Amino acid sequence: MKSPAGGPARRGAGLAGRLLLAQTLVLLTGGLTAWTIAAMVGPSLFHNHLAMAHVGSTPTQIAHTEMAYQSANVISLAWALLAALVVAMAVNVYIARRIGRSVANIADAARDVASGHYDIKVPAPGLGGEFDALASGFNQMADRLGSVERTRRRLLADLGHEMRTPVATLEAYLEALEDGVATLDSATVELLRSQTRRLARLSEDIGTVSRTEEGQVRLDLRTVHPESVISAAVDCVTEAFGTKGVRLLCDVAPGLPELVMDPERIGQVLANLLDNALRHTPAGGTVTISASRHAGGVALSVADTGEGIPFEHLAHIFERFYRVDAARDRAHGGSGIGLAIARALVQAHGGQLTATSPGPGQGSTFRVTLPRR
């Protein structure tokens, strides 16, 4: 935590020293001000009271009485200010050290975070709500940076894995063609094209989600009825559902309002959700796409009776390349970016995309809420 040169310790001691010096100056200034005011105001007030009480019959008695007052006043005020200064200095030293240690802890933790150690936790200093909020905010920032770093590493690893298979296939077939082992027939051409399409689709998906999350996607907004968008999405996947043996149901509530949306983009969202549901629902299962009114707008839901999602994964499934089960999802052919694209497109429409699941083996539901605007 501390450097060999003792940098963090010096930073903490320096702050504590400056706080102590500032508070000492305040105390000295206050003490000097109190002493000056007492010296200026006290004797005249005492003299007036002597005159009003007719104390002292001669000037000598009056002068001696005033001198006694001044002596007693100086001694008592000096001891009172000294005692107050000692007590206040002790309190100042304690507070300055606590603040200095707290700031030094945050400085040390910040240096560790800058070095890539995101598991740092700063304890609450107990110096008030502001310092506790600072420590809590720092801990949340470190957790978030750690999550981002883990996601980045997983993203790079998954991206490399996604690209490795089509690149290896293309390289192997090109070498086979060069060596004369394989011939450039229609089957080979189709295989090569499928691999290049896979790479192109991956590149396009990454570009789409990046542009959408940065607010750079262009939407062709039109006033359309949600039922037409749902029907188009269902028509595109009906054959795939029939091939796998998964039943697809459609439940659209009557009297839905028209919405201002990009029908192609919302259709892409529904297609991604339906494709995701199909991949994770075994033969004989059911996927239901429904639409209903919601807070002046419309809610679109895709519910399945498939594998479900463990609770600890629900908060991450919309992250790029995130997989609940990496091996299983790769076997299903998912790139791990479809849900990220869907969420980004829904947010571009001012809506929200959420996911719920009772748990593994109990299916899941993805819910799109779109405002009426």
SS3 of residue 147 by DSSP: helix
d(CA 43, CA 48): 9
Amino acid 328: pLDDT: 44
Stretch 11-39: mean pLDDT = 67
Check residue 116 and give left, alpha or beta (phi > 0: left; psi -120 to 50: alpha). left
Q: What is the token pair recorded at 280?
A: 């994770």
Q: Counting beta carbons within 10 angstroms of the beta carbon of residue 38, is it exposed (0 to 12), middle (13 to 18) or buried (19 or more)? A: middle
Pair of tokens at residue 245:
């043996």
Q: Of the given ranges (8-12, 257-261, 300-304, 339-343), which has the lowest mean pLDDT?
A: 8-12
**Rounded mean pLDDT of 103-114?**
78
Q: At what angle do helices 7-53 and 59-114 cross, to 10 degrees?
A: 160
> What is the bridge-based pairing of β-strands 364-370 and 297-304?
antiparallel
Q: What is the mean pLDDT of residues 289-309?
A: 91
* Highest-scoring range by mean pLDDT, 39-53, 63-77, 135-149: 135-149
Placement of tokens 């039943």 in the chain: 247
Domain ranges of the chain: 7-117, 154-213, 222-370
pLDDT at 12 > cutoff 50: no
188-213 mean pLDDT: 75
pLDDT, tens only, 248-276: 999 999 989 999 999 988 998 998 899 98
- pTM comes to 0.52
- Asked if residues 27 and 89 have their Cβ atoms less than 8 Å apart, the reply is yes
pLDDT surpassing 50 at residue 2: no
- DSSP string covering 32-61, please? HHHHHHHHHHHHHHHHHHHHHHT--SSHHH
Question: How far apart are alpha carbons 187 and 108 in whole angstroms?
Answer: 62
Write down the CATH number for the domain with range 222-370: 3.30.565.10
Helices (H), the chain: 7-53, 59-114, 129-179, 186-213, 226-244, 263-279, 326-332, 338-348
Per-residue model confidence as pLDDT tens digits over 326-369: 444 444 445 567 788 888 889 889 999 999 999 888 999 999 99
Question: Over 60: is that where the pLDDT of 6 sits?
Answer: no
SS3 63: helix
Contact 135, 123 (CB under 8 A): yes
Contact 340, 318 (CB under 8 A): yes
| Gap between the Cα atoms of 296 and 301, Å rounded | 16
pLDDT of residue 45: 65
Band of residue 11 on the pLDDT scale cut at 50, 70, 90:
very low
Low-confidence winner among 96-105, 176-185, 279-288 (lowest mean pLDDT): 96-105
Q: Could you tell me which residue, 161 or 87, shows the higher pLDDT?
A: 87
- Amino acid, single-letter form, for residue 243: T
Give the pLDDT confidence score for residue 351 in this predicted structure: 92
